[in-house]
Structure 1
Amino acid sequence: MRAAVYHGPHRVEIEDVPTPEPGPGEVAVDVAFNGICGTDLHEYYAGPIFVPTSPHPLTGRQAPLTMGHEFSGTVAAVGPGVDGWAVGDRVAVEPIHRCGQCPPCRAGNYNVCQRIGFHGLMSDGGMAERTVVPVHMLHRLPDSVSLELGALVEPMSVAYHAATLGEPPADGTALVFGAGPIGIGLWFALRGKGLENVYVVEPSADRRSAVEALGARTLDPTDVDVPAFVADATDGRGADAVYDAAGVRPAVETALACVGSRRPMVSVAIYETPLETPLLNLVMNESRIQGSLCYTAADYEAVIALMDAGTYDTTGWVEHIALEDVVTEGFDALHAGRKTKVLVDPTR
């Protein structure tokens, strides 16, 4: 079968690899769509970062390996000991490998497992025609949720988890910094939670237009004094939650200037370079920075339920490409800002 194999920075090859077969407790999935994540871009241009160069403690794998951790598909085969799943079932995959033994895992917070791994970063992933996953990674898709949306459950769950951590009240005000896929997902999640006053802060005119077409209200930080706007809109209280999905210093500084007293800035970005945090703002405001990593099964099920209810829309910001075009029309186009979200279709 064909797969996009990561060998190192600037080297992802489309190769013929053996078709995997499920072992005990595993399921083989024929991949319908696999999204290219910002993490994949970091690995391609600046890695290896998360891709191990020595055997991973949970998976035993290291580079080279097949990329892809945002995917949906159809069950193609079930291994020994698997119950409740059958060939033909449509699924989204929650790609976390966890140890189940460390303190976070024992507390139910396996998304911060001390030996965490990701299918497609620490094991052969979904940027291929078929992949094999442990059965605990499967989430069933309702008939109303397309396989295209199913491939977006993973990034939308990243956003939903972060939105939940911010705890904004339904009548409150929230700001999202960055209108990439996670920023768009935050807007969907916050709206799905019932918030009306959500603003997306984005300097790119193209990205503002894309999220505006979905119904979002946007602010251009190159044209608007965002902290002053927020102060005026909230009668001086500040935002009830701000979310950094941009991962750059100007966004963090502006976000911290907008957050209300004793309220959080939730960081859901990957920072390529160290940031200097203006701690005085936090001290004087008794506000805080809240980290957000991944998701749990509850976030997956919440996102799938919102998709079933029609909350999410892919119009204008999601594109499909063939596996052979993963570098030119995927990594390069996303890195250059020509596209917002790309789904790789291995069947094309």
Structure 2
Amino acid sequence: MRAAVYYGPNKVEIADVPEPSPGPGTVKVKVGYNGICGTDLHEYYAGPIFFPTEPHPLTHAQVPLVMGHEFSGVITDIGSRVTGWSEGDRVAIEPIYKCGHCPACKAGNYNICAQIGFHGLMSDGGMAEYTVVPADMLHKLPDNVSMQLGALVEPMSVAYHAATLGETKPGDTAMVFGAGPIGIGLWFALRGKGIDDAFVVEPSATRRASIEALGARTLDPAALDVPAFIADHTEGRGADAVFDAAGVTPAVETALACVGARRPMVSVAIYEKPLTTPLLNLVMNESRIQGSLCYTSADFQAVIALMAQDAYDTTGWVESIAIDDVIDEGFEALHAGAKMKVLVDPTI
């Protein structure tokens, strides 16, 4: 079968590899679509970061490995000791490997497991025609949720988890910094939670146009004093929650200047450079920075339910490519900012 195999920085090969077979507790999935994630870009250009160069403690795998942790598919074969699933079931995959016994896992917060692993980073993943996954990673897709949307459940769950940590309620004012895929997902999640008064702050005219076409209200930080606007808009109260999906110092500084007293800035970005942001406003307002990592099963179920209600729209920001085009039309186009979100179709 065809697969995108990661060897190291700037070395991913589209190769023929053996087709896997399910073992006990696992199922074989014919992949529908696999999304290229920002993490995949980091690994391609600067890795290995998360790809293990020694056997991972949970998966026992190491590079070279098949990439891909954002994917949907159809079950084609079922291993022993698997119940509740049938061949032909359409599924999205929650790709977390967890130890089950660390303090975080025992508390139910397995998304911050001390030994966390990901299918497609610490094991062979979904950027292939087939992959084998543990049955506890499966989430059934309703008939009216497409395979393309199914491949977006994982990144949209990252955003939904962050939106939940913001503790917003209908009538609140929320702000999203960054209109990349996670920023778009945050806007969808906030809308799904009944937050109508939300603004997306984005300096790129192209990205602003993409999310405006979906119905979002945007602010251009190069043309507007964003904190002054929000202060006026909220009659001095400030935003009830701000979300950083940009990961750069100017966005964080502006976000902290906008957040209301005793309200959170939820950080769901990866910071490639150290932040040197003054925290005086944070102290004076008793506001806080809240980290957000991954998702849990509840986030997956919430996103799938919203998708079944047509709450997500891929128009203008998602496109599909063939697996042979992963480098040029995938990694390089995304890295150059020429595309927003790319789904790999391993069948073409």
Shorter-normalised TM range: over 0.9
Q: Given residue 25 of structure 2, which amino acid in structure 1 is its aligned partner? A: G
Further displaced range: 274-283 or 313-322: 274-283
How is 1:1-348 mapped onto 2 (pairs within 5 angstroms)? 1-348=1-348
User: RMSD of the TM alignment (CA)?
Assistant: 0.6
Q: Give me the TM-score of the superposition, normalised by structure 2.
A: 0.99
SS at match of 1:227: helix
Question: How far is the alpha carbon of 1:53 from its aligned partner?
Answer: 1.1
Give deviations 1:185-225, integer Å, cap 9, x for gaps.
00000000001101000011110000000000000111111
| Count of residues in correspondence between the two structures | 348
SS at match of 2:13: strand
Consecutive unaligned residues in structure 2, runs of 5 or more: none
The DSSP-based 3-state class of the residue aligned with 2:54 is coil
Please give the alpha-carbon distance, in whole angstroms, between the structure 2 residues aligned to 1:198 and 1:268: 17
Q: Contact (CA 8 Å) 1:34, 1:68: kept in 2 or not?
A: yes
CA contact (8 A) 2:21 2:28 kept: yes
TM-score, normalised relative to structure 1: 0.99
* 1:346 Cα deviation after fit: 0.3
Q: CA contact under 8 A between 2:177 and 2:255: conserved in structure 1?
A: yes
Cα deviation for residue 282 of structure 1 reads 1.2
Unaligned runs of 5+ in 1: none
CA distance in 1, matches of 2:281, 2:53: 40
Shift of 1:169: 2.1
Quote the Cα distance in structure 1 between the aligned partners of 2:121 and 2:224: 39
Note the alpha carbon deviations across 1:43-67, whole angstroms, 9 max, x for none. 1111111111111110011111011
Q: Deviations over 1:100-153 (max 9, x none)?
A: 010110111100000000000100000000000000000000011011100000
SS in 1 for 2:276: coil
% identity of equivalent residues:
76
* Alpha-carbon shift at residue 277 of structure 1 (Å): 3.0
Distance in 2 (alpha carbons) for counterparts of 1:127 and 1:136:
20
Q: Which consecutive segments of 4 or more residues in structure 1 shift more than 6 A?
A: none
CA distance in 1, matches of 2:53, 2:226: 43
Contact 2:169–2:193 (8 Å) recurs in 1: no
